[in-house]
Amino acid sequence: MTDRPASEPETSRLSETLVVRRLVCGLWQVADLEKDGGTLDLDSAADALQAYADAGFDTFDMADHYGSAELIAGRLLARYPTGAKRPLAFTKWCPEPGPMTADAVRRGVAERLERLGVDKVDLLQFHWWTFEHPAWLDALHEMAELRREGLIGEIGVTNFDAAHLAVALADGVPIVSNQVSFSLVDRRAAGDLAALCGRTGVKLLAYGTLCGGFLSDKWLGQKEPAEIADWSRQKYKRFIETTGGWVAFQGILAAAGDIARKHNVSISNVATRWVLEHEAVAAAIIGARLGENEHRTDNLQVFGFSLDAEDRDRLNAAFTATRPVPGDCGDEYRRPPYLTASGDLSHHLQAIPSIHKPEPMPGRPDRTRVSSGSVWEELAGYSRAIRVKDTIRVSGTTATHGADRCVAPGDPGAQATYILDKIAAAIRALGGTMEDVVRTRIYLRDVTHWEPVSRAHGRAFAAMRPANTLIEAGNLVGDYLVEIEAEAVID
Ligand SMILES: NC(=O)c1ccc[n+]([C@@H]2O[C@H](COP(=O)([O-])OP(=O)(O)OC[C@H]3O[C@@H](n4cnc5c(N)ncnc54)[C@H](OP(=O)(O)O)[C@@H]3O)[C@@H](O)[C@H]2O)c1
C-alpha cells in the first residue's frame, strides 16, 4: 500500500498460473450499447479496449451473451504476436439447463475459443439457472476435462451461493473463482461465501461494486431517478429498492462521501476500496461503456489509500438504516425478489424442463410417481417420489448422481445440499413445491455431522419449518453420509 495513486492496477493471484488485475474491465455494457439491434464497430471498440490495456487495465470480463464483447476482445487479442504477453480475456458460459453431454460442453467451449480467437480460454466462468437440475455438476466435470486438455486455463463459476460452491468443490471440481454481486448495497458475499473462500482459497470476482454508477459523487444528494435507460442501473435500482429505498441509499452515499473527502478520493473509490479490502476478493469488475465514458484515472486512486476503523464504523452505521439483500449470492437469478435487469425471471425458470417425467400408475388414476434413475430404485422396487391425491412422499434420498455415483464423498453438508435439490425437483415434478413440505426425516451415519446437515436443512426450510426427526442410522450404503426423506401436502 502506498500513499500515492498507483500508475496501474494492482494484481492478485487466482491460481499458480493466473494473476489478474484487481480492477477488471467489465464488458456487459457492450450488450446494453447494442440493445437496439446495432453492433459496435469491432475495430474501434477494440481500440477502446486497447486504451484500457495500455493503461494496465488488461484483464477483461465478458460472457457468451454480452453482445459482441467476445468478438471485440478477440480483435484486441489478435493484435498481439503469438507467445507475447497479452491481455487476459475472461468469459462465461451460461447454458440452458438440460442434459449435459460431453459434446454439449465441448461445443460451448469451442464457441468461446472461436469468438475470442484463442487456443485456451483464460478463465471460463459457469452460470447455471436452477440447481434442481443436476446437470450442472456434469457440465463442471466436463469443463475440468477440457481444462486437462488445455482448452480452458482455469475454471470459475458465477452467481453460485456458498452451499453449491461447496458441493462443487467437495465433488472435486477445481474452481478458482466465483463472480458475484458485492457492494456497499449488496453485502451478502461477506457472509457464508467469504467464509467458504477463506477455508478453500477460492477467490471472489466482485461485480455491481459501483451499482451501475449509482455509487458515485454524481448521485449524492440527487432525487431518485424516475426513468433509467441502461440495463445496469435498472438492475441496481432494484437492489436499492430492496435494501430500503433511495433515502437509505443516500445514507450510504453520504457516509462514503465523508470518507471520500477525508482521503481526497471519490465516492466510487471508497465503494471499490471497501469491496477490495475483503480478504476473499481478488478483484472488482468495473463496467465500461466503450466509446462513451472511461474512469481509469479516478479508479486508479483505489490503490492509493485504505479504509481505517473510523471509516468502517461510519459505513456500518449507514448500513443499519438499510435491509440486507435477502438470501445468498446468486439468489437474485433464482427466486424472488428477482433483482435482474429484466426483473422477474420466474417465467424463464418455469420453462426449464424438469429432470423427471411423472409416470401414471396403471389402474390408480389418483397416483403418479417419479424415478431419478438410480440403480437402487429399479433393484429394490421403489420410486423417488409418489403423489397420492394431494400428498407427495419422497423416498429416503441420498446424494446419488446419475445411476450410482456418490456426490461430495466425505462432506455431509454438501451431500445434504445436493439431496435437498433432488427432493425439490421430485416434488416440483409432481406438482408441489418445497413450501408444501410438512415433514422431513434425516438419517445420519455419524451424529457428529448434525450441524452442517441441519444448516443445509435450515437453508431449504427456514420459512416453512416442517416437522422433523433426526436419526443416527449407524450405517448407510456406500459413501453416503446422510439420507433425507420428505412429505408434502398440497392444500
Ligand atoms: N456474472 C454476472 O451475473 C454479472 C452481472 C452483472 C455484471 N457483471 C460483470 O460486471 C461488470 C460490471 O458491471 P455492472 O453492471 O455491475 O456495473 P458497475 O461496475 O457497478 O458500474 C459501472 C458504471 O459505473 C460508472 N463508473 C465506473 N467508474 C466510475 C468512477 N470512477 N466514477 C464514477 N462512475 C464510475 C460508469 O458509469 P458511466 O459510464 O455512466 O459513467 C460505469 O458504466 C459487467 O460489465 C460484467 O462484466 C457480471
* DSSP of 148-216: HHTSEEEEEEES--HHHHHHHHHTT--EEEEEEE-SSS--GGGTHHHHHHHHH--EEEEE-TTGGGTSS
Grid cell for residue 232: 445496469
Question: Given the CA of residue 216, which atom of ligand 1 is nearest to it?
Answer: 33
Distance 220 CA to ligand 1 centre (A): 18
| pLDDT value, residue 345 | 86
Given a cut of 50, whether residue 84 has pLDDT beyond it is yes
State pTM to two decimals. 0.97
The residue count for the chain: 491
Q: Is the C-beta atom of 211 inside 6 A of ligand 1?
A: yes
* Mean confidence (pLDDT) of the chain: 95
Evaluate if residue 137 carries a pLDDT over 80: yes
Tell how strand 121-126 and strand 88-93 pair up: parallel
Ligand 1 geometric centre to CA of 458 (Å): 34
pLDDT at 3 over 60: no
Q: What is the pLDDT of residue 408?
A: 98
Establish whether residue 183 lines the binding site of ligand 1, counting it when its CB lies within 6 angstroms of any ligand atom.
no
Nearest atom of ligand 1 to the alpha carbon of 28: 45
Residue nearest to atom 33 of ligand 1 (CA): 216
- Whole-number Å distance, alpha carbon 205 to ligand 1 midpoint, is 13
* Whole-angstrom distance, CA of residue 167 vs CA of residue 60: 28
Say whether pLDDT at 461 is over 70: yes
Q: Which of 60-69, 173-182, 476-485 is least confident?
A: 476-485
- Please give the distance, rounded to the nearest whole angstrom, from the Cα atom of residue 443 to the centre of ligand 1: 46
Least Cα distance to 182 among 167, 168, 197 occurs for 197
| Percentage of the chain modeled with pLDDT above 70 | 99
Relative to beta strand 400-401, strand 405-406 is antiparallel
Which ligand 1 atom sits closest to the C-alpha of 125? Answer: 1
Give the contacts of 296 (CB within 8 A, at least 6 positions apart).
52, 55, 57
> What digits encode the pLDDT tens for the residues 268-317?
999 999 999 999 999 999 999 999 999 999 999 999 999 999 999 999 99
DSSP β-ladder status, 121-126 and 152-158: parallel
Report whether residue 67 contacts ligand 1, using a CB cutoff of 6 Å.
no
> What domains are there in the chain, each with its CATH number?
11-333 (3.20.20.100), 359-489 (3.30.1330.40)
pLDDT score of 459: 96
| Integer Cα distance of 302 and 359 in angstroms | 59
Our measurement of the distance from residue 238's CA atom to the centroid of its chain's CA atoms, rounded to an integer in Å, reads 18
pLDDT digits (tens, 9 = 90+) for 152-209: 999 999 999 999 999 999 999 999 999 999 999 999 999 999 999 999 999 999 999 9
Q: How confident is the model at residue 2 (pLDDT cuts 50, 70, 90)?
A: very low
466 lines ligand 1 (CB under 6 A): no
Average pLDDT for 407-426: 97
Model pLDDT, residue 29: 97
Residue 61, ligand 1, Cβ within 6 A: yes
What was the pLDDT predicted at 350?
82
Q: To the nearest whole percent, how much of the chain has pLDDT over 90?
A: 89
Block residue for cell numbers 473510523: 310
Kindly report, residue by residue over 213-224, the tens digit of the pLDDT.
999 999 999 999
Distance CA 231, CA 228 (A): 8
430/27 Cα distance (integer angstroms):
41
Say yes or no: CB of residue 158 within 6 Å of ligand 1: yes
Query: Where in 5-145 does DSSP place strands (E)?
Result: 11-13, 19-21, 23-26, 59-61, 88-93, 121-126
Confidence of residue 77 (pLDDT cuts 50, 70, 90): very high
Helix (H) or strand (E) holding 346: helix 346-350
The angle, 0 to 180 degrees and rounded to 10, between the axes of the packed helices 162-170 and 135-149 is 50
How high is the pLDDT of residue 403? 82
Cβ–ligand 1 distance for 152 under 6 Å, the answer: no
Hey, what amino acid is at 258?
D
Contact 396, 450 (CB under 8 A): no
With a 6 Å cutoff on the Cβ, whether 26 touches ligand 1 is: yes
At 349 the pLDDT is: 83
Instruction: Identify the residue with better confidence: 361 or 140.
Output: 140
> Residues 29-52: what's their mean pLDDT?
97
Least confident of 3-12, 21-30, 36-45, 443-452: 3-12
Number of H helices, E strands in the chain: 16, 19
Identify the residue whose C-alpha is closest to ligand 1 atom 5.
207
The pLDDT of 453-467, averaged and rounded, is 95
Q: Which atom of ligand 1 is nearest to the CA of 231?
A: 15
Is residue 232 in contact with ligand 1, taking CB distance under 6 Å?
A: yes
Question: For 188-337, where are the alpha helices, taking DSSP H only?
Answer: 192-200, 231-242, 245-263, 267-276, 296-300, 309-319
Q: What would the mean pLDDT of 373-391 be, rounded to a whole number? A: 91
| Ligand 1 center from residue 32 Cα (angstroms) | 11
Count CB-CB contacts under 10 A for residue 385.
30
Query: Using one digit for the tens of pLDDT, what is the confidence trace for 241-272?
Result: 999 999 999 999 999 999 999 999 999 999 99
* Any ligand 1 atom below 6 A from CB of 285: yes
| Cβ proximity of 154 and 253 under 8 Å | no
What pLDDT score does 474 carry?
83
Which residue, 49, 22, 42, is CA-closest to 283? Answer: 22
Task: Evaluate: CB of 299 within 6 angstroms of ligand 1.
Answer: yes
Instruction: Give per-residue pLDDT as tens, 326-354.
Output: 999 999 999 999 999 988 888 888 888 88
Is the CB–ligand 1 distance for residue 95 below 6 Å?
A: no
pLDDT for the residue 425: 96
